[in-house]
Amino acid sequence: MPPLMFSVDELEALVLGSRWVMDRGDARLATAARDLLAKVGAVLPAPLQRELEDSALLAGPSAPLVAGDAALLPPLREAIRLERRLELDYRDAQGRCSTRTVWPFALGFFDRVQVLVAHCELRGEIRHFRTDRIAALRPREERYPRRRQALLKDWREREGVAQP
């Protein structure tokens, strides 16, 4: 099998992105990012291995995830992958609680907060839910009626977000 080849810029992007995830993701994502770098490093030719190991691109410090927030991220990611409904107990900015059934289809990672993007059955539209305001979540077994990619496409068009 031919060696895995990256340009130096691609390798730096991979290292920087992985370091960012190690610092800002939940424990499972951080471990996956660390494992990814180890696997890539193991199959790179020697000159690129040195580039990987010696990369001076660093992800700056971030605010630590709230303990409960970090625990929510794996089940949120799983619900997105499986296209399953979730029931959330959610506190708004004023501290008012509500229960929402949502169709989760994206999770945004920002420096200080993570945001679940989901179709809310109560409101009948796409809404954004800060994960640090989710008091509890209950996965549901049933799939939601639209495909995740269709919901994501609608959201991108509505928000003016370009396709990566």
Domains of the chain: 8-53 (no CATH), 67-159 (2.30.30)
Pick the most confident of 38-52, 53-67, 88-102: 88-102
64 pLDDT higher than 80:
no
Name the packing angle between helices 8-24 and 27-43 (round to 10°): 160
Write out pLDDT tens, residues 82-135. Answer: 999 999 999 999 999 999 999 999 999 887 789 999 999 999 999 999 999 999
Average pLDDT score over residue span 135-147: 96
User: What pLDDT does 45 receive?
Assistant: 87
Q: How far apart are CA 141 and CA 17, in angstroms?
A: 33
60 pLDDT higher than 70:
yes
Q: What is the pTM of this model?
A: 0.84
Confidence of residue 151 (pLDDT cuts 50, 70, 90): very high
- Beta pairing class for 84-91 and 134-143: antiparallel
Q: Tokens in use for 56?
A: 């001076």
User: What pLDDT does 84 receive?
Assistant: 98
67 pLDDT higher than 60:
no
Confidence of residue 6 (pLDDT cuts 50, 70, 90): confident
State the virtual CA torsion across 34, 40, 41, 47 in degrees, nearest 10.
Answer: -140
Minimum mean pLDDT among 19-33, 49-63, 104-118: which range?
Answer: 49-63
Question: What value does the mean pLDDT of the chain take?
Answer: 91
Neighbour-count burial of 38, counting CB atoms closer than 10 A to its CB (0-12 exposed, 13-18 middle, 19+ buried): exposed
